[in-house]
């Protein structure tokens, strides 16, 4: 039987060391966030519904997004044993240059609507972490401002080919002049997807006040204060605004985009050319024959064609077919460092995070993006150590089994 006694003061002293209270509320929130889902919940509390739903939502029934996330959850790892993983190297080389982590920040449009620091927060955080930042054609910071925010880091530019070709060509030339080293030629947006949350919320560019938005803003006054006391939104590629995101995209995008446009852009841009939005093996093979530098397997985060192919499921076959000829990367559905490790094991050279980045941005501006990168980096390293691989090059298909839910009939 255990002997009981009254505790002595010297025994209690080590238990009475209280953690110092942090009076910075933002820092408290972010330090308590342990996952991307935690950042997502903070972002939802701090951001008006229409702006949050623009980030969080997808097209029509949002099946593509749910399936993409489910595909990563349906992974079974196969770890090795008795290997030295006291140090793990998460760095990699992609599109001719280094990255400290096997993920970068994906292009996102209208970013300052999510949080006023916008792309400047993303680019500066990426530069500090040693990972690439990708600026969208529909970004709310200029090519030159992003370069100034990330002068020594890797900046990439995502291009939409627009009806007014001279606008697109001008953006390519500006990206080259600003020493952006890689251009993403985006091919999955001939027209806008049906983003029903935006329509139901009456989400427009710029935001329009209504009874609903006023009521929703009451518990989030800081967002409106930031929005109204910072410079107005400017878009490098849109000469006029007013309307839903879908209406703006339909007015600007050209459904006649073709391989001839890719040839023109190839001649204009001196850096790496990567085609973003590839969704089948046949197109991947054709692009390899055309000599592009890489592809991004992507269904645009589920925001275009609902019921689109799941990039993670498509990845192994594409990597087998064209992985020796071009660099295969992917996005869509990534919410954890384990997702990134899974993609690398199945043949991806690199991955991209879009929503995860925006959740961090909405949760805390630049500091929130830093926290997002920190969370994913810790998860990548921990997963690699538990698999007992010491570098990303050691990840192989044998480390991952894709469990099947959706099997073609």
The rounded Cα 192 to chain-centroid distance in angstroms is 19
Q: Is 342 buried (19+), middle (13-18) or exposed (0-12) by CB count in 10 A? A: buried
Q: What is the spatial distance between Cα 112 and Cα 340, in angstroms, rounded to a whole number? A: 26
What the block records as the tokens of 166 is 């001279």
Using a 10 angstrom Cβ sphere, with 0-12 exposed, 13-18 middle and 19 or more buried, the burial of residue 64 is buried
Q: Which residues are catalytic?
A: 300
| Long-range contacts of residues 206-209, Cβ cutoff 8 Å, at least 24 apart | 206/113, 206/232, 206/233, 206/241, 206/242, 207/48, 207/50, 207/51, 207/113
The C-alpha R_g of the chain, in whole angstroms, comes to 22
Sign of CA dihedral 133, 402, 37, 32: negative
Count of CB atoms within 10 A of residue 157's CB? 25
The residues pairing with 93 across neighbouring beta strands, listed in sequence order, are 98
Query: Quick one: 374 exposed, middle or buried, by C-beta within 10 A (0-12, 13-18, 19+)?
Result: middle
Nearest-10 crossing angle of helices 355-387, 118-129: 20
Q: DSSP letters of 328-397?
A: EEE-SS--SHHHHHHHHHTT-SEEEESHHHHHHHHHHHHHHHHHHHHHHHHHHHHHHHHHT-SBGGG--G
CA–CA separation, 150 and 157 (whole Å): 13
Judge whether 365 and 25 are in contact, CB under 8 Å: no
Rounded to whole angstroms, how far apart are CA atoms 147 and 110?
Answer: 18
Q: What is the C-alpha separation between 337 and 103, in angstroms, rounded?
A: 9
Q: Which two tokens stand for residue 255?
A: 């459904």
Cβ-Cβ contacts under 8 Å for 302 (sequence gap 6 or more): 58, 59, 62, 63, 64, 65, 66, 68, 308, 332, 333
Cα–Cα distance measured from residue 220 to residue 212, given in angstroms and rounded to the nearest whole number: 13
């Amino acid at each position: 039987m255990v002997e009981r006694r009254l505790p002595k003061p010297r025994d209690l002293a080590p238990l009475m060391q209280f953690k110092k209270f942090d009076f910075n509320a933002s820092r408290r929130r972010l330090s308590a966030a342990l996952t991307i889902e935690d950042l997502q919940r903070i972002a939802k509390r701090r951001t008006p519904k229409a702006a949050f739903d623009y980030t969080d939502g997808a097209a029509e029934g949002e099946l593509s997004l749910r399936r993409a996330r489910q595909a990563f959850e349906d992974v079974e790892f196969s770890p090795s044993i008795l290997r030295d993983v006291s140090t793990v190297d998460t760095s990699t080389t992609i599109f001719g240059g280094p990255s400290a982590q096997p993920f970068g920040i994906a292009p996102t449009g209208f970013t300052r609507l999510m949080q006023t620091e916008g792309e400047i927060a993303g680019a500066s955080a990426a530069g500090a972490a040693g990972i690439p930042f990708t600026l969208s054609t529909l970004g709310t910071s200029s090519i030159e401002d992003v370069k100034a925010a990330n002068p020594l880091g890797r900046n990439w530019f995502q291009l939409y080919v627009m009806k007014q070709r001279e606008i697109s060509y001008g953006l390519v030339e500006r990206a080259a002049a600003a020493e952006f080293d890689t251009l993403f030629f985006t091919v999955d947006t001939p027209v806008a997807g049906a983003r029903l949350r935006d329509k139901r919320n009456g989400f427009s560019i710029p935001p329009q006040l209504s009874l609903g938005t006023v009521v929703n803003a009451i518990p989030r006054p800081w967002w409106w204060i930031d929005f109204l006391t910072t410079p107005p939104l400017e878009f490098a590629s849109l000469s006029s605004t007013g309307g839903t995101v879908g209406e703006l995209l339909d007015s600007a995008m050209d459904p006649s985009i073709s391989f001839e446009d890719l040839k023109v852009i190839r001649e204009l841009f001196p850096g790496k050319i990567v085609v973003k939005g590839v969704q089948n093996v046949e197109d991947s093979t054709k692009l390899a024959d055309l000599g592009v530098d890489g592809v991004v397997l992507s269904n645009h985060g589920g925001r275009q064609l609902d019921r689109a192919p799941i990039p993670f499921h498509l990845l192994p076959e594409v990597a087998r077919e064209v992985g020796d000829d071009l660099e295969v990367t992917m996005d869509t559905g990534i919410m954890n460092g384990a997702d990134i490790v899974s993609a690398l094991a199945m043949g991806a050279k690199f991955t991209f995070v879009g929503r995860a980045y925006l959740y961090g941005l909405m949760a805390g501006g630049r500091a929130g993006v830093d926290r997002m990168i920190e969370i994913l980096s810790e998860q990548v390293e921990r997963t690699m150590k538990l698999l007992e691989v010491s570098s990303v090059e050691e990840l192989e298909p044998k480390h991952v089994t894709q469990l099947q839910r959706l099997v073609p009939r």
